[in-house]
Structure 1
Amino acid sequence: MTTSFLIKNANIVNENQTFKGDVLIEGELIKKIGTNLVAPENAEIIDANGSYLIPGMIDDQVHFREPGLTHKANIATESKAAIAGGITSFIEMPNTVPQATTQKLLEDKFEIASNTSYANYSFMFGGTNDNLEELLKTDKKNVAGIKLFLGSSTGNMLVDNQEVLEKIFSSTKMLISVHCEDEQTIRENTAKFKEEYGEDIPIKYHPVIRSEEACYLSSSKAIELAKKTGARLHVFHLSTEKETHLFRNDIPLEEKQITAEVCIHHLWFTDADYDKKGTHIKWNPAVKSQKDKDGLWKALLDDRIDVIATDHAPHTLEEKSNVYTKAPSGGPLVQHAVIALFEKVKEGVISVEKVVEKMSHNPAKLFQVENRGFVKEGFYADLVLVNPNDAWTVAKDNVLYKCGWSPFEGTTFSSKITHTFVNGNLMYNNGAFNEEIKGKRLTFNR
């Protein structure tokens, strides 16, 4: 098997620069970056002329559904879709069955991934109203962080005891990631619409039920608590323009104690898409207005929002086809996230350098991921080649998710991912997968 690759003539994107050059991969690592590099004997040469070479995306929020919900997805199927989509590392959430709320159950997930994940992986430990003792045993070098649901979502791991929350925020030095939606507001709104429509509430009311107010109330409280306790807080999937003003852009990312993430679907869709897409774009928090989408883009570009992720959360078509109150929230995104961002590059909304900063560099910095997220000598060769001029249309027959559908079906993208390297191994090559090799457990510089 080839252990050396020479990628020639690529447009290398790294640390706010794009430059033409070559990258030599030896074993798991990037050995050399330069121009006119000479290939060692037995190295495979890839001419990347016209293509971008970027560090693989580090997706800080996915739901791969294993264990317990594997009729929808599993770590093998979704990590395979991820590498086809240019995501080389993922951090998976604890709301599986059973939930990852003890150290033993958390390690069980790592064990599954070590045997089946094509991408590099980590998992979050799930905080509840009554597992503080277990939570404090979490190994900061080998586990990505703590996840708290401050609004109930799939799996209902709601943490709503204020005293417990304060204890968690005060007691751990681990990064705490939060899903912020105010439960009381949502319950009241749901009851009101149920009274009028019964179970079959029109999907267009989803962002009215899971409203701006519900999001802002919860995220502002979490931020207040983080400031009070000194906790390291990361707010997942912002969905409103209003929330973006809670975050700072006047200090470097490394100095921020409170950071924010936005997801692909909130940057792509608006409430105008519910008519056509229906429950296929039902997410928690909800896709909201054009004003919210514009505000999220503005905050992303001016660095109040630090990271782009997917919140990949597949459900079967049968499940999604239920009436509003029974249709679960979430959709599959890892295969199309990077390409969707490249479409926004083509439209002039964002630069390619900024995309790489938000999806690769910043997650690596924010989670202190060891030796990944950059095109740098001595770093792991987690690399992706993107041809910016190879249009294709998303259709059922090219969707790789186990659930078999995508909210992007019918969308034509201008760019195509041609090659994905994970730890120096060419794992994806123009539609062909290397299924012999698995990814590695992420480690953290903490």
Structure 2
Amino acid sequence: MHVNRVSRARRRGAAALAASALLGGAAVATGPAANAATPEAPAAAAADCSDAYKIEQTLSGGTTWRMCWSYEREAGLVLNKVSYQPKGENAPIKVLTTGKLGQIHVPYDDGQNEYDDLTSFGFGMGLQGLKAAECPGGTIKTVKLPDGGGNVKGLCTTTRARGHAYRMAGDAAGQVWQAQGKDLLVYTVNQVGWYEYMTEWRFSDDGTVNANVGATGSLSYGDYDAGDGRGWPIGKGAKDYATSHSHNVFWRLNFGLDGKPSKVEQYDSKLTAPSGGGTPKIKTTRTKVTKELAGDVKTYRWWRMVSATGKNKDNHARSYEIVPGPSTKYPGRGYTKHDVYFTEYNKCEQFASNNLRSCGAGAGKSVDKWVNGQTLTRPVTWVNIGFHHIARDEDQQPMPVHWQGFQMVPRDVTAMNPLTPDALKNQNGNYMSGR
């Protein structure tokens, strides 16, 4: 509940009222670690991406990721100028112009409470300080919060193993080609009332990008009142019921493959029933998305963002495929009824719901209202991943992290697997035909 979010923030020692006027009266949670003295941070992110705002990491296998970061009052961490340079490429390949959260919408099943955590509840100003143990082998960067919010050592950049990148039996007896993958991990933790959200970006050595939000922290004690079938019994017997609710997380992405606005394509595959005892056939068709679109995930449907100018060494257009993770769409609001949105760039359209900026008469305050038939020349991609949280005994205490997110997977960005061993580099296409 709203009042319980505020009371918990105060119990943790947050300077709740300092930013209330800026954040629509919502309390701001910062936590004791965030209030500790930290080294002075630069005043703002420089346009040329000064060293304080630069992230660069070369991973095992020779892949280098480069990006700039900044921090916003509502959205929190923003990644800018993201580029990927695998081994064998002479220059970095530009991927994302910007990437950030577009909203965390939290409606409760009993209809009593509904929150927009980014724009109504001080998400960005709730940045938590991180200890070295939370960023093993990495660096914790100091973030200067907007509006005089102080300095917080709250941005972790580190590397993390992810297991097999590939495995293939070789031609010789006992020969195995295998490699263990590595990721660059960039993350922050933001407290909103009883919840703590981990905003995580993983950049893999094979070019894949994973965007995830993990919810942890604690169940609100004020929610233990849902004895009407809209909650789950927590604790001894059937006295306390934690109210069920949804977490609808939106990401806002501006793809800039090879430095130009990317194009949108949708692919659909259709199965033809067999005739005469044969095998079913599947045909895949491409649709160039030239107008704004609200899209729904379906079996055999996917989207990719395509470079307007760049091609790989096989002369195929570079692109990134959007691969949504598991999701439960919340049907209660128009903006949560679709899985992806492609809108024409408009500076004022920053948040998928409860957008703070005025975008003109009749423009609306949510992403579904912005899909109105405009031609896509500078597409902005919005991805919506929902999670219906029906609490369980194991959610206390503290609450295990539950993750939701999606992948951006390279499709023809390089001519071969960027981690291909040198001995196999001649095996591109139908190499056995001698072409």
TM-score (norm 1): 0.21
- Please say which structure displays the higher CA radius of gyration: 2
Asked which structure has the greater RCO (Cα within 8 Å, sep 6+), the reply is: 1
Q: Which has the higher helix share?
A: 1
Q: Which has the higher strand share?
A: 2
